[in-house]
Amino acid sequence: MNIMITNDDGITAPGIIALAEALRPLGRIAVVAPDREQSAVSHAITLHHPLRAERQGDDIFAVSGTPTDCVNLGINNLLDFRPDLVVSGINRGGNMGDDVTYSGTVSAAMEATLMGIPAIAVSLATSGEGKSYEAAALFIRRLAQRVAEEGLPSDTLLNVNVPDLPRERIKGPLITKQGKKRYQGAIVDKIDPRGRQYYWIGSIEPTYEDIEGSDFAAVIRGHISITPLHLDLTNYASLELLRGWKL
C-alpha cells in the first residue's frame, strides 16, 4: 500500500510518530504534516499567502499550513505517488460529537475523501499527554488493512476514537453514530500590559450526552469507536418540510 499520513498536532507530535511506525509494515509511508500545531482549524485552506514545505527525510515533509493544505499539497505536488489511503492523526484528544466540525484531524481525512481517496481520522481520547498511542496505532494498522480489502462507501470517511487506557483494558471496536456535546462557551476579557483590551476564546470543560450507540458512549465504556462520516450534510428529513414553506 501507498499511505499518506498527516495530522493537526504538528509533524513532531508523538501520535503521528507512533502511527508512521505502526503502518510502515504495510508498504510505503509518506508523512506530510503541519510544521506546528494546527488544532481546531477545521477545513481551512491557505489562499492569501504562499506555503512552504521543508523536506525532513525520505517522504517526510513539514508544511507551513493547515492539515487540509497538507493533503492538497502532498497529493498534488510533493509526493511522486497517489496514496491508496490517507490517515490523519493520531490526535491528542478525542474528536467526538460536535467536535468533528472544528477538528483539523477530521477535516484532513475529509479533504482526502473529497479527492476520491479512502481516509481514516484517528484520535486518542485523552485529557493529558496520552499513554496509548501505540495501542491506537496498532489498531489503525488492522483497520487500514481491512479498508484496503473492503474499500469504503462513497463519500465516506472513518472517524476513530480510542480510549486512553492500557492496551489490555481497551475493549473491541464498535460502529457508532456521531454523539452530542454539551458546550458552554467562555470568553476571557482582559486588559494587556499596554492597556489594550483583548479576548481569548475558551470553554468550560465540555461534557457529552451519554446517547446509546454514540461515539462518546462507546469510548467512555472503554471501546474503540468507529463512526462513518458522510460528506453530504443535507438534512433529507427536512426537505419536504421546507418545500412546504411559501417562499
Average pLDDT over the chain reads 94
What are 92-124's pLDDT values in tens digits? Answer: 999 999 999 999 999 999 999 999 999 999 999
The span from the CA of 94 to the CA of 106, in Å, is: 11
What are 10-53's pLDDT values in tens digits? Answer: 999 999 999 999 999 999 999 999 999 999 899 999 999 999 99
The residue ranges of every structural domain in the chain are: 2-180+209-243
The span from the CA of 203 to the CA of 206, in Å, is: 7
User: Do the strands 197-203 and 185-191 form a parallel or antiparallel pair, or are they unpaired?
Assistant: antiparallel
What per-residue confidence (pLDDT) applies to 177? 97
Q: How many CB atoms lie within 10 A of CB 43?
A: 17
- Average pLDDT in the 231-242 region? 94
Strands (E), the chain: 2-6, 28-34, 53-57, 60-63, 85-92, 119-125, 156-163, 171-175, 181-182, 185-191, 197-203, 207-208, 223-230
What per-residue confidence (pLDDT) applies to 203? 62
Measured between alpha carbons, how far is residue 37 from residues 137, 175, 237, 238 in Å?
A: 20, 29, 38, 38
Q: How many CB atoms lie within 10 A of CB 104?
A: 27
The span from the CA of 67 to the CA of 105, in Å, is: 7
Strand partners, 86: 4, 119
- For 218, half-sphere exposure in the C-beta direction (CA atoms, 13 angstrom radius) is 25
Of the pLDDT bands very low, low, confident and very high (cuts 50, 70, 90), residue 187 is confident
What are 216-226's pLDDT values in tens digits? Answer: 999 999 999 99
The superfamily (CATH) of domain 2-180+209-243 is Survival protein SurE-like phosphatase/nucleotidase (3.40.1210.10)
Measured between alpha carbons, how far is residue 103 from residues 110, 111, 167 in Å?
A: 10, 12, 25
- Average pLDDT in the 154-172 region? 96
| Position 207 pLDDT exceeds 90 | no
| Position 205 pLDDT exceeds 70 | no
